Structure 1
Amino acid sequence: MEINFLALIVAALSTLVIGFIWYNPKVFGTAWMKESGLTEEKMKGANMAAIFIMAVFFAFLIALILQSLTIHQTGAYSMIGGGGAVDIKPSYTAFMADYGTAFRTFKHGALHGFITGLFFAFPMIATNALFERKSWKYTFINSGYWTVCFMIMGGIICAWQ
């Protein structure tokens, strides 16, 4: 099972598109700025090119993990040791012949993305928010963003064969 780097890059870039919509002042942007303690003046002083480059890099790292969470066949590949073992394991070839495209849909990937957002992103963001003394509104805005991102990323990664 090979890594589909193009799918991972597209999934990583999707976080920017979702972020442009999610954090738009007409959606959650104004509320997020208020809950984060940010102002327009503070936002203007940032190196946005560096921020976007690093954001895509971090999203790519997330996409690498989402691949193993959304594509069940990755487990079969890891069971045989990966690499050249594919050629010497007839059981892997038989498994992939029977189940190679099973559950490889956008919907299935989005489901696993939702589960990951709910049980990974939300608790992590909520824990940080508790210690940072941030509001529940802040927590739900940010964890909602990541849950939607994980759903779209998981859908892209899982469906792109």
Structure 2
Amino acid sequence: MDLSNVVANLNYWAILVAALSTLVLGSIWYSPFLFGKTWMRLNGFTEENLKGGLPMPVIFGTSFFVYLLAAISLAMFLGTSATLSFGIFAGVMIAVFWISTAKLNNVLFERQKFSLFLINAGYDLVCYIIMGAIIGGWQ
């Protein structure tokens, strides 16, 4: 594999849109309409203590940056001849067998609530399916 050829042929628009999709999904997934209230309760968060800590632009900016890195990596993994179906398949495999297994290990050893794992792993699963679909399907 010629790495310079792979990098030169990446679809950077698809990568950008894939990374942005994670922020859109996160704003819905962790909203009060879906899992936000449960996620807060399981973490022991209140509206008041969430106002402290890092400013939201830093949190969202960093989140976008790390998902941009993930989207670049996913695009390199999929290659230039990826399809929509392979992108979705790869997204499922990555989310379930790489990300979720690592997170589950943390849940077990840190004695976290399994329902919190399901919320967070579910978000990762949907994120990587969407990112894989965008990158794989955008020719």
Q: Shared fold by TM > 0.5?
A: yes
Question: 1:111-160: CA deviations, max 9, x gaps?
Answer: 21011111011111111222332111011110110010000001111111
Amino acid at match of 1:56: F
Does residue 1:63 correspond to 2:82, yes or no?
A: no
The TM-score, its normalising length taken from structure 1, stands at 0.75
For 1:6-29, what per-residue CA distance to the aligned partner results, in whole angstroms no more than 9, with x for missing partners?
A: 111111110011101111112111
Alpha carbons 1:36, 1:134 under 8 Å: kept: no
Q: Deviations over 1:65-111 (max 9, x none)?
A: 2113333x5xxxxxxxxxxxxxxxxxxxxxxxxxxx5x522x33112
Larger Rg: 1
Separation in structure 1 between the aligned mates of residue 99 and residue 49 of structure 2, nearest angstrom? 26
- Alignment check: 8 A CA contact 1:35 1:134 kept: no
* Kept in 1: contact 2:29–2:36 (CA 8 A): yes
Report deviation, 1:31.
1.0
* Unmatched runs of 5 consecutive residues or more in structure 2: 1-5
**Match for 2:95: what amino acid?**
G
- Following the alignment from structure 1 to structure 2, what is the Cα–Cα distance between the partners of residues 119 and 37? 28
* Whole-angstrom distance in 1 between the partners of 2:95 and 2:115: 17
Q: Is the 8 A contact 1:110 1:155 kept in 2?
A: yes
**Pick from 117, 121, 125: which aligns with 2:99?**
121
Which of residues 7, 12, 15 in structure 2 aligns to 1:5?
12
Asked whether the 8 Å contact 1:70–1:113 carries over to 2, the reply is no
Q: CA deviation at 1:5?
A: 1.5
Secondary structure of the residue that 1:25 maps to in structure 2? Answer: coil
* Residue number among 119, 125, 133 corresponding to 1:147 in the alignment: 125
Q: Which residue of 1 aligns with 2:3?
A: none
The two structures have a TM-score, normalised by structure 2, of 0.87
Question: For residue 158 of structure 1, what is the aligned residue in structure 2?
Answer: 136
Native 8 Å contact 2:10 2:76 kept in 1: no
> Which secondary structure does the structure 2 equivalent of 1:27 belong to?
coil
Could you list the runs of 5+ residues in structure 1 that have no partner in the other structure?
A: 74-100
1:41 and 2:48 equivalent?
yes
Secondary structure of 1:3's counterpart equals: coil
Matched, 1:104 2:102: no
